[in-house]
Amino acid sequence: MKQDWAIKQLGDVCQVQRGLTYSGKDTVDYSNTVVLRATNINLKSSSLVFDELKYLRDDFEIKEIYKLSKGSLLICFSSGSKTHLGKVALIDEDYNYAFGGFIGQVTPTKDISSKYLFYSLISEKYKKYISELTDGVNINNLKIKDLQAFLIPVPPLEEQKRIVAKLDKCFEAIDTARANVERNLNNAKELFQSQLNQIFSQKGDGWVEKKLGEVCEFENGDRGKNYPSRSKFVSEGIPFVNAGHLDNGKVIIENLNYITQENYNLLSRGKFSIGDILFCLRGSLGKYAMIDSLESGAIASSLVIVRVTKELINNFLFYYFDSPICIKMIEEYAGGTAQPNLGAKDLAKFNISYPPLDEQKRTVAKLDALYSQTQSLESNYQQELDALDELKKSILQKAFNGEL
């Protein structure tokens, strides 16, 4: 670090103000009085978003200290998720908005540039500092005094401006590269979805269309007195799978819950084996997974086991569940409610077109190959995105070490 740099606490170069408090009776469907909340700070981009605005009655009195100030930063002081604690966004315009009690405003003094401060508060050093600060059981809280104690290297203002200009240029190039990689990643995903749509929407020679209930069997989980509550979970035993364990067509075994063999034996239904497909009926509606490694286990009430009959092979049905045709039917049957859900009887009404078994096998082999290629591309693109994220971290570290 250079000799003319000083190490100062954030409280020495900034003013910190918690947001205003209000109650449900102060809120209305729409007004000219907008109050921003923690959800208006995007964690990934560290920017303001205005998708979900909260409105207060127009006669609600708001002091100037609770209004956004251009050049200041909004920061999350309280959140149910620790990862959101301390997230920041630069106030880049004169918005006539207020900010609520779960967030606050950090206003730099004349000794520090607002953009330099912003870059300081998206650095890994800052994130590590915040991650080690928490209190409360159900909610994580950042105390003003702890935020004020965060140490920031403060060079002269002209040096700050030079660093900001360099960071702006570097990050603009990184963001452009990231956008290109994300576009390629989406193209790879769309290519596979396009192939799925083409296969499951066609009706070639020998293809038939039936309801899933005509070619599959469905088995719900046991909802009786022997249903495994969380208190019955053990550290090892028989896997008990819920919707949160399904991801990308697979069961994530690292975070599984387990029940005893005795509890498993008491269940009258909802027991799966190799080759079964699990489908989520509630919550994460439409998530699915093929059982390919777990020899046995049981399902939570949010899932249903789907087994093919002699007219289908399970891998063909597996790909059907990822097809745009199936996704569209899920949306239709779910009815667009706030908490969409299906029953096994609804799932049984879904239409599926399929060819003879030999052609199903050839189709699955073709999709397996394309899926493998797509996964390889996605993995490569994700590695590129991770590398760009690491580059950002490295550049920020160099900047605040005086090496940029």
Q: Final residue of a domain: which of 335, 354, 373? A: 354
Residue 384 sits in which domain range? 156-192+362-404
Judgement on whether residues 12 and 143 belong to the same structural domain of the protein: yes
Judgement on whether residues 163 and 251 belong to the same structural domain of the protein: no
Judgement on whether residues 49 and 132 belong to the same structural domain of the protein: yes
Judgement on whether residues 218 and 328 belong to the same structural domain of the protein: yes
The residues that bridge with 271 in the sheet, in sequence order, are: 298
252 within some domain:
yes
User: Which among 78, 123, 122 has a CA at the least distance from the CA of 99?
Assistant: 78
200 within some domain:
no
Judgement on whether residues 38 and 151 belong to the same structural domain of the protein: yes
201 within some domain:
no
pLDDT tens over the chain, length 404 residues:
677 899 999 999 999 999 999 999 999 999 999 999 999 999 999 999 998 899 999 999 999 999 999 999 999 999 888 889 999 999 999 899 999 999 999 999 999 999 999 999 999 999 999 988 865 555 678 999 999 999 999 999 999 999 999 999 999 999 999 999 999 999 988 888 898 888 888 777 889 999 999 999 999 988 888 888 888 899 999 999 998 899 888 898 888 999 999 999 999 999 999 999 999 988 788 899 999 888 899 999 889 999 999 999 999 999 999 998 888 888 888 765 556 678 889 899 999 999 999 999 999 999 999 989 998 998 999 999 999 999 999 999 999 988 88
Please list, in sequence order, all residues whose beta carbon lies within 8 angstroms of the beta carbon of residue 133, skipping any fewer than 6 positions away.
85, 86, 142, 143, 146
- At 87 the pLDDT is 96
d(CA 318, CA 316): 5
Q: Final residue of a domain: which of 110, 126, 155? A: 155
HSE-CB of 61 using CA atoms within 13 angstroms: 1
Judgement on whether residues 324 and 236 belong to the same structural domain of the protein: yes
- At 52 the pLDDT is 87
Supply the CATH number for residue 216's domain: 3.90.220.20
300 within some domain:
yes
62 within some domain:
yes
- At 140 the pLDDT is 79
CA dihedral (139, 145, 150, 153) positive or negative: positive
Please list, in sequence order, all residues whose beta carbon lies within 8 angstroms of the beta carbon of residue 32, skipping any fewer than 6 positions away.
58
- At 340 the pLDDT is 67
Judgement on whether residues 287 and 238 belong to the same structural domain of the protein: yes
Judgement on whether residues 388 and 346 belong to the same structural domain of the protein: no
- DSSP letter for 107, please: E
The residues that bridge with 76 in the sheet, in sequence order, are: 103
Phi, psi of 8 (to 5 degrees): -130, 155
290 within some domain:
yes
- At 393 the pLDDT is 93
Judgement on whether residues 220 and 284 belong to the same structural domain of the protein: yes
Kindly state the tokens that stand for 385: 């995105």
- At 223 the pLDDT is 85
Q: Final residue of a domain: which of 312, 332, 354? A: 354
Please list, in sequence order, all residues whose beta carbon lies within 8 angstroms of the beta carbon of residue 159, skipping any fewer than 6 positions away.
2, 4, 5
199 within some domain:
no
Residue with tokens 């799925």: 196
Give the number of other CB atoms < 10 A from CB of residue 88: 21
Judgement on whether residues 263 and 328 belong to the same structural domain of the protein: yes
Kindly state the tokens that stand for 35: 């109050």
Contact 288, 216 (CB under 8 A): no
Give the distance between the most distant pair of CA atoms in the chain.
80
Number of domains in the chain: 3
d(CA 168, CA 76): 24
Question: What's at 91, amino acid-wise?
Answer: I
Contact 219, 307 (CB under 8 A): yes
Parallel/antiparallel/unpaired status of strands 351-354 and 208-211: antiparallel
203 within some domain:
no
Judgement on whether residues 95 and 25 belong to the same structural domain of the protein: yes
pTM: 0.73
- At 337 the pLDDT is 55
Judgement on whether residues 105 and 54 belong to the same structural domain of the protein: yes
Residue with tokens 């998206």: 122
Residue with tokens 């964690």: 43
- At 1 the pLDDT is 62
d(CA 291, CA 339): 27
